[in-house]
A and B are shown apart, each in its own frame.
Chain A
């Protein structure tokens, strides 16, 4: 429930959270996955650039974008210096517990977002989905903003927006603010899947024709053939 006593309609802001703290334990040793270069651009650079592009020209006055760093934080940050210089509104959060799993990064970002007024929801994007598209990120936010498929809804009836292809759900998942307390309860390598199971009738599914944006890079094999080819930026 929103306790805002202000009678004026509140400007809703959907925060973007980039999960870039992980150690990528399944990935070949050597360099952090975040710094893997595809088509001349590192994964972290590409992900942040897409998020920045997606937040341009929106109705939001000040988009909230968080970058959660952990493993090799300084190197990773250095790889996006150019973007950060142009986009001072990106907030870097440092998760010192990153080795304990992705939930620590989610908790780290949600704790921060809870302190920001006007954040009505957040989506969480791992940096290892290089085929992600700006249009998917925009649709995700648009579904939340426009209250699409919200008939019969009332206050306290927050929404979760999940991209999916052929019945397989992927990232990023958008959570309404009412689910922030539950995100703070996640532990270890738990993702938000169990929250999805608990709130099935709050989920809006974005069904995609093309699975590529949801495809993540888990091993070096995934990028060997580079199928589908990375879109040119």
Chain B
């Protein structure tokens, strides 16, 4: 949704209707995960992907019908589905896709849909939110947006359903998991609700706006990271040098890192190999539950860092989390090559590999 929003707004701003296709169920070796989305405009534009190319054409046709009728539709593709032989999901997986017409989301218009507006505000603010949509049942298309504190906007049209979804959100949102939920009540009503978790982007915080930081921020940005550069030396941390940084900060690293409220989805790379910056940064970073913590510098530099940290009461166990030497051993020495080594190590750690 985050990546599609600029396109949706641009198309709608030009007066073109837009439909949204979402993978709500995937089993077998499905090419795209649950929650993958594609936006389709009346004018024939497409952005995003629901299958990696296998069924986009068929989904496009469905989206055009949806925009004409104003009514949502289901499409499913898989080995046993007749359509599969026609369009072909070569990977052998099965996916179910929900296609819905989108209300106006343009910034200058009055908000047409409160739950969607709330979701977009949360995305912009990098806060976790879950969008629940009735994809089958008497209140088809009803939406509700919930945040991690349990607050919600909108209703799915059935009090018990709302409370069930609130219950499930408390479990799904921290786990960053989306899910199709199917249920029926004593009053005989039956619903299917898609619970779409929208976690904030993973963050990469680079301390030290050095040469290596420039390609590293660029690569991280293309992987979908929210990127932050911290360096109190104002000549280094400039927008001219870092056009891909979401935030540039010239505070001292300890102060800056504390303000960022680092969490389990945060990656921190210390690149200055200057103890004046590294030690205050590490004092804050080592006290947070980070996804990744790496520090550039020779063995000698790192030994000095460890000694300084030991003086400040950090144990060997505490400091064992620091990746040094930073990055996978790819052998390259150019700034871009080192940046690739670092980003590769981040990807490995993110997926549970221990480099």
Contacts and interface: CB of A to CB of B under 8 A. Distances in A.
Most buried by B among A1, A153, A155: A153
A206 interface: yes
A208 to B, nearest CB: 6
Contacts of A85: none
B179 interface: yes
Given A167-B164, A167-B167, A201 B180 contact: yes
Contacts, number: 80
A205 B182 contact: yes
B80 A149 contact: no
A224 B191 CA distance: 39
Contact of B136 (A149, A154, A205, A206): A149
A152 B98 contact: yes
A149 B191 contact: yes
Nearest to B23: A152
Interface string A176-219: 00000000000000000000000011011111111000000000
B94 interface: yes
A157 interface: yes
Interface in B50-101: 74-76, 78-81, 94, 96-98
Contact of B183 (A149, A200, A210): A149
B74 A207 contact: no
Given A152-B98, A154-B76, A205 B167 contact: no
Interface residues on chain B, size class: 20 to 34
A207 B192 contact: no
Most buried by B among A154, A203, A206, A210: A154
B79 A155 contact: yes
B184 A149 contact: yes
Contacts of B135: 151
B76 A152 contact: yes
Contacts of B164: 167, 205, 207
B184 A152 contact: no
Interface in B95-110: 96-98
Nearest to A154: B78
B182 A149 contact: yes
A148 interface: yes
Contact of A152 (B25, B160, B190, B191): B25
A39 interface: no
A123 B135 CA distance: 27
A220 B78 CA distance: 52
B74 A151 contact: yes
Given A167-B167, A201-B25, A152 B97 contact: yes
A228 interface: no
Nearest to A210: B186
Given A149-B136, A149-B191, A201-B34, A154 B182 contact: no
A12 interface: no
A153 B180 contact: no
A164 B185 CA distance: 10
B181 interface: yes
A207 B182 contact: no
A152 B183 contact: no
Which 5 residue pairs across A and B have the least CB separation, nearest first?
A152-B96, A155-B80, A205-B183, A149-B182, A204-B182
A210 B187 CA distance: 12
B27 A152 contact: no
Given A167-B164, A167-B167, A207-B164, A151 B136 contact: yes
Interface of B: 24-25, 27-28, 34, 74-76, 78-81, 94, 96-98, 135-136, 160, 164, 167, 179-186, 190-192
A154 B74 contact: no
A144 B79 CA distance: 22
12 contacts: A139-B184, A149-B182, A149-B184, A152-B75, A152-B98, A154-B80, A154-B96, A156-B28, A157-B27, A204-B182, A207-B164, A207-B184
A167 B163 CA distance: 9
Contacts of A207: 160, 164, 183-186
Nearest to B98: A152
B35 to A, nearest CB: 11
A72 interface: no
Contacts of B25: 152-153, 157, 201
B89 to A, nearest CB: 10
A152 B185 contact: no
A167 B78 CA distance: 32
B62 to A, nearest CB: 12
Interface in A126-154: 139, 143, 148-149, 151-154
Nearest to B94: A154
Contacts of B97: 152
